[in-house]
């Protein structure tokens, strides 16, 4: 009993706070859901900041209803991954190019100072050939927010409300495998993020259930695939009837294949791949 209590205290003492920034509802699940789930299962506290409202991603539903349904579904998905809070910034999807980058940065910075995370997950803005630019704009803003959150001369008003500067020690850049050169190390300099592969064998089922919780987006994906095939005189046997079972199967194929792609060349069967900057990756003093 005593040992169990000691172990509990020890794990609580080492528990980290993880802040996950996502552009659209599915991004963080597909690229990082397994790793986040492993952290929460180990006792870490995770919080999600969702930048857009996903109002475009449905099949024949108006934007308002799309946004409303997806909000409920992403909260359900986050819960499955063990994320305790979801904060939605509410920007209209696919329109971040018209929003002030400083505004997005400062809203993410607010959450960094509020929750003082040890770990930050952000979309990788340097990944190439990812056509969804919401992820690019969010990644840039979040990367800058992490930097600015640590500097006392940014957002002086925040300090008046107790939101003091904060350094986030670990940074994970996540992306789906669109970039053919994503495995190339950017640089050997100690302060440059490096490729990191995380095995997700123990959490992939939870990741899958989280991905399947996004029913509106998944149904839209299935219908759009069917439409693209129909436009070119083809069909997919799985999608002859687009019901929950067919959509969930499609999502399962997607999630498991993504895990297999990420694991290629690693000791794992299922994985997620990141660019990672840990506590040891600091800009040397002489270069600051």
Quickly tell me which residue has 């930097």 as its tokens: 147
Closest distance between other proteins and the C-beta of residue 12, in Å? 36
Using CA atoms of 276, 280, 281, 285 in order, give the dihedral in degrees to the nearest 10. 170
Quickly tell me which residue has 């990756």 as its tokens: 281
Is 242 a binding residue for other proteins by CB under 8 A? The answer is: no
The binder of other proteins chosen from 8, 11, 102, 128 (CB under 8 A): 128
Closest distance between other proteins and the C-beta of residue 283, in Å? 23
Closest distance between other proteins and the C-beta of residue 216, in Å? 11
The binder of other proteins chosen from 253, 264, 265, 279 (CB under 8 A): 253
Closer CB to other proteins, 43 or 177, in the complex: 177
DSSP-assigned beta bridge partners for residue 21? 49
Closest distance between other proteins and the C-beta of residue 90, in Å? 16
Kindly indicate which of the ranges 15-23, 105-113, 141-149, 232-240 contains the residues binding other proteins, using the contact rule CB under 8 A. 232-240
Quickly tell me which residue has 């946004």 as its tokens: 67
Distance CA 231, CA 9 (A): 59
Is 269 a binding residue for other proteins by CB under 8 A? The answer is: no
Residue 1 CA to chain centroid, in angstroms?
38
Is 66 a binding residue for other proteins by CB under 8 A? The answer is: yes
Helices 244-263 & 27-41, crossing angle to 10 degrees?
Answer: 70
The H or E element spanning position 186 is: none
Closest distance between other proteins and the C-beta of residue 146, in Å? 24
Distance CA 252, CA 31 (A): 14
DSSP code for 238:
G
Instruction: Return the residues of window 144-203 that contact other proteins according to CB under 8 A.
Output: 176-178, 180-181
Distance CA 187, CA 149 (A): 25
Distance CA 105, CA 158 (A): 14
The binder of other proteins chosen from 15, 133, 150, 159 (CB under 8 A): 133
The binder of other proteins chosen from 89, 145, 148, 250 (CB under 8 A): 250
Closest distance between other proteins and the C-beta of residue 16, in Å? 29
Question: What six digits make up the tokens of 100?
Answer: 């002030």
Residues engaged in binding other proteins (CB under 8 A): 30, 55-63, 66, 94-95, 97-98, 128-129, 131-133, 176-178, 180-181, 221, 224-225, 227-238, 250, 253-258, 261
């Amino acid at each position: 009993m005593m040992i169990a209590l000691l172990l509990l205290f020890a794990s609580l003492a080492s528990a980290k706070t993880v802040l996950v920034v996502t552009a659209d509802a599915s991004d963080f699940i597909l690229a990082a859901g397994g790793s986040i789930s492993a952290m929460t299962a180990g006792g870490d506290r995770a919080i999600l900041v969702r930048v857009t409202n996903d109002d475009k991603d449905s099949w024949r539903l108006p934007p308002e209803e799309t946004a409303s349904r997806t909000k409920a579904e992403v909260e359900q998905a986050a819960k499955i991954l063990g994320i305790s809070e979801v904060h939605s910034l509410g920007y209209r999807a696919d329109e971040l190019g018209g929003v002030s980058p400083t505004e997005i940065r400062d809203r993410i910075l607010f959450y960094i100072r509020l929750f003082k995370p040890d770990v930050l997950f952000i979309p990788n803005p340097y990944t190439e050939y990812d056509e969804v630019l919401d992820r690019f704009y969010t990644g840039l803003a979040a990367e800058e927010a992490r930097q600015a959150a640590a500097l006392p001369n940014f957002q002086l008003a925040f300090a008046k409300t107790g939101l003091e500067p904060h350094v986030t020690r670990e940074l994970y850049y996540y992306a789906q495998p669109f970039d053919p050169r994503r495995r190339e190390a950017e640089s050997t300099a100690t302060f440059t993020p490096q490729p990191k592969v995380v095995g997700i064998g123990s959490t992939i089922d939870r990741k899958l259930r989280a991905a399947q919780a996004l029913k509106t987006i998944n149904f839209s994906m299935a219908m759009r695939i069917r439409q693209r095939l129909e436009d070119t005189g083809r069909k997919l046997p799985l999608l002859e009837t687009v019901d929950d079972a067919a959509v969930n199967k499609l999502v399962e194929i997607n999630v498991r294949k993504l895990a297999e792609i990420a694991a290629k060349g690693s000791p794992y069967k299922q994985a997620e791949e990141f660019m990672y900057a840990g506590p040891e990756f600091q800009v040397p003093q002489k270069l600051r």
